[in-house]
Structure 1
């Protein structure tokens, strides 16, 4: 069995103050994808990644983004969009990956390459490529922006356009990456915070959020196009086809967490053969009564050696 998790930690320093270190030590995961690490190497907490080997792409925006993949054995290969990555053994300082690969980018992705949004590794002990993605949050198109209903200042649709541009480019990149893994005899697993609730089952208050970023029709349609029985499969939804949720994000405000009025934004998207190996899923809403982040880790057990 291989236990694989994804977790948006929304700042690894804050997550450690809430118990991330103990969760890493006790959850029994073999591979963990992290998003929103939000710390440059010099500002990571001590033993930030516990007893795991880590491949980390911090990006160049201080205090923002940052993705990582944690593994029990050193990865066989590390690839990023920028060509920059850090690698560390348990308890050892991080160092630049000497053989990190800069993958050829699909049209439109170059402007996002240095933001620390994507990293992938090949496992050393099995034919599997694991990727961690933090997709931009985005915003509303200009015609839906109402200042009196917005927490952020209206931007004329700039954040919306940026997210849509990322998604269009990433769809091309994703197809390339999946095919490259297949050509190398590897299964492929994309994990991370996609900042999209795909269907009505993935959002508790879907009726009043139909004109909210993260649940716009065009965002949901884009995600649907990435999922087919022959390309990528939503692993959690495959195992829970009729369930509402399980949700993975709740606002810190109000009673949304207590009432489980959340969004499912964090995914395992696997090639079909790998998806069929998934046995059980769990969303770790808290660790010993404390939320690690506004997101919750999504843990899947795969019937793999």
Structure 2
């Protein structure tokens, strides 16, 4: 079973840049998407071909939006907002359905309507697949120096917000993993986590220790998610102790060509599923002018 995750940075832009060709050529069985960035009614008709499209768009215009593409209709759907668009191949309706919403971890309600998380139970395999778009965040106030930042100093507001998300999401993820196990399912969390876990996940890691996405506290949080009994970083098990494979490169000219990247897009799987991985990698485009997004798809083949 071929499963992919892809931050497409806007479905309409990705379509213009060749998303449909990639989908047709790679033929994944499941795809987790992040930053779809479109209201349901504006998703291009037919862009997902033969796939069922399950979508949590969120309420922020032109931002966020997470989805899962599957070959068969999902057996169950869950979102934090309690609503989702479920569209079969050939359909173009934009009406959402109301879902049975379970309890949310303390602190997560703040983010529930932002289109950051969706999970589905696959109909053709005992797996719960989740797509996550984690906030980018910022740096703490004491590291902010005017004139040396790309963004205006904000006193650490974006940093604090991301840390609140991390704290709440860790509890929610534990709940989701245990609930999947109770249903007899493995859990596969995929998406753009906006954190590079180790030095092997950032090309210029020495210069990135005070950058959002590679702060020590973010990396420690990532450490807390992983263990042989909870979740496994599937791609890293296929590439132990080597740089990359990166999945994000800045749009700054030359960054992609020089492979000055970050690995921030992940497959985090429960151990039983992780052991079935037989191949993994990043679908890095052959040239800068052929990029579909500032991210590249991360694809894993599981022997299921």
TM range (shorter): over 0.9
Give me the whole-angstrom Cα distance separating, in 1, the residues matched to 2:96 and 2:43.
18
- Tell me if structure 2 keeps the 8 A contact 1:80–1:101: no
Deviations 1:57-116 (A, max 9, x none): 000101000000000000000000001100111121245454623231000000100000
> Which segments of 5 or more consecutive residues in structure 1 lack a partner in the other structure?
none
Counterpart of 2:261 in structure 1 is: 262
Counterpart of 2:120 in structure 1 is: 121
What value does the CA root-mean-square deviation take over the aligned residues? 1.2
Give me the whole-angstrom Cα distance separating, in 2, the residues matched to 1:261 and 1:117.
27
Give me the whole-angstrom Cα distance separating, in 2, the residues matched to 1:77 and 1:132.
14
Give me the whole-angstrom Cα distance separating, in 2, the residues matched to 1:303 and 1:75.
20
SS at match of 2:131: strand
> Which segments of 5 or more consecutive residues in structure 2 lack a partner in the other structure?
none
1:164 paired with 2:163, answer yes
Which piece of structure 1 moves more, 269-278 or 46-55?
46-55
- Tell me if structure 2 keeps the 8 A contact 1:142–1:156: yes
Give me the whole-angstrom Cα distance separating, in 2, the residues matched to 1:4 and 1:296.
14
Aligned length: 303
Counterpart of 2:68 in structure 1 is: 69
TM normalised by structure 1 equals 0.97
Give me the whole-angstrom Cα distance separating, in 2, the residues matched to 1:209 and 1:101.
42
- The Cα of 1:50 is off from its aligned counterpart by 2.0
Counterpart of 1:84 in structure 2 is: 83
1:32 paired with 2:28, answer no
Please list every run of at least 4 consecutive aligned residues from structure 1 whose deviation after the TM superposition is greater than 2 angstroms.
94-101
1:272 paired with 2:271, answer yes
Structure 1 segment 120-139 matched on structure 2, within 5 A = 120-139=119-138
Give me the whole-angstrom Cα distance separating, in 1, the residues matched to 2:10 and 2:160.
26
Counterpart of 1:112 in structure 2 is: 111
Deviations 1:16-42 (A, max 9, x none): 010001111121100000000000012
Counterpart of 1:50 in structure 2 is: 49
- The Cα of 1:46 is off from its aligned counterpart by 2.2
Give me the whole-angstrom Cα distance separating, in 2, the residues matched to 1:49 and 1:115.
23
Counterpart of 1:290 in structure 2 is: 290
Counterpart of 2:16 in structure 1 is: 17
Counterpart of 1:233 in structure 2 is: 232
Give me the whole-angstrom Cα distance separating, in 2, the residues matched to 1:51 and 1:106.
35
Give me the whole-angstrom Cα distance separating, in 2, the residues matched to 1:98 and 1:114.
15
- Tell me if structure 2 keeps the 8 A contact 1:236–1:267: yes
SS at match of 2:113: helix
Deviations 1:120-162 (A, max 9, x none): 0000111110000000000010000011111111100000000
Give me the whole-angstrom Cα distance separating, in 2, the residues matched to 1:212 and 1:114.
27
Q: Closer, same or farther in 2 for the Cα pair 1:24/1:101, shift >3 Å?
A: farther
